[in-house]
Amino acid sequence: MDPTDPRRHVVETADRLFYARGVQAVGMDELRQASGVPLKRLYALFPSKEEIVLAVLARRHALWEEGVRERVDRAGTPRARLLAVYDHLADWFAEDSFRGCGFINAFGELGAVSPRVAEAARAHKRSFQEYVAGLVEAAGGPRELGPQLCLLAEGAQTTAAIAGTPEAAAQARRAAEVLVRAAMPSGDPDEPAQSTREA
């Protein structure tokens, strides 16, 4: 345990456990054992399990944004930046620990009973939609292209989690390329190596 930041340590431990097994399957006593933080200290840091879940989601949101932006920033053209979103998904889906979108998972478990968790999930998805809308605008695409590309990304996450394979990222990328070309027929196309990239 990192003695300088026990709150961060608890959140990282909870994130690992929740993501692997689900929020409701992990009790506070198990979190105490896994983190090495006494139960009394846990409740001093987080008054309720819901507070831990919200902190985990905030961490996941920051990691998601960092990962997507890093991958997109490596792309060379505005169109390539749109498709780089799916390259980030391909990298993520290939990780051994991939279990789907943590926000979708948390919403599925707790959305009906925890308005705060539901709103955290909605805010995360809105943020992604706004980010993609900005990429579309920078590429000179029509406004309706953004939600379409987001739907492909969201569907790929769910499909990859259920199938247990990363192929959905490449499939979504190819579908996104078709949408981008249809919405923006003029301009320089992406290089063939990018257009046919497999996850």
Task: Note the pLDDT tens digit of each residue in 75-133.
Answer: 999 999 999 999 999 999 999 999 999 999 999 999 999 999 999 999 999 999 999 99
Give percent above pLDDT 70 in the chain. 92
Question: How confident is the prediction for the chain on average, in pLDDT?
Answer: 92
The CATH label, of 1.10.357.10, 3.30.420.10, 1.10.3720.10, 2.60.40.1760, for the domain at 57-195 is: 1.10.357.10
This prediction has a pTM of: 0.89
Handedness of CA 76, 178, 170, 120 (dihedral sign): positive
The full set of domain ranges for the chain reads 1-47, 57-195
The dihedrals phi and psi of 147, each to the nearest 5 degrees, come to -60, -35
Instruction: DSSP letter for 198, please.
Output: -
Q: CATH number for the 1-47 domain, one of 1.10.10, 1.10.3470, 1.20.120, 3.40.50?
A: 1.10.10
Q: Please write the tens of the pLDDT for every residue from 36-85.
A: 999 999 999 999 999 999 999 999 999 999 999 999 999 999 999 999 99
Q: Which of 171, 167, 172, 174 is nearest to 195 (CA)?
A: 174
Across 26-35, 46-55, 106-115, 186-195, least confident range: 186-195
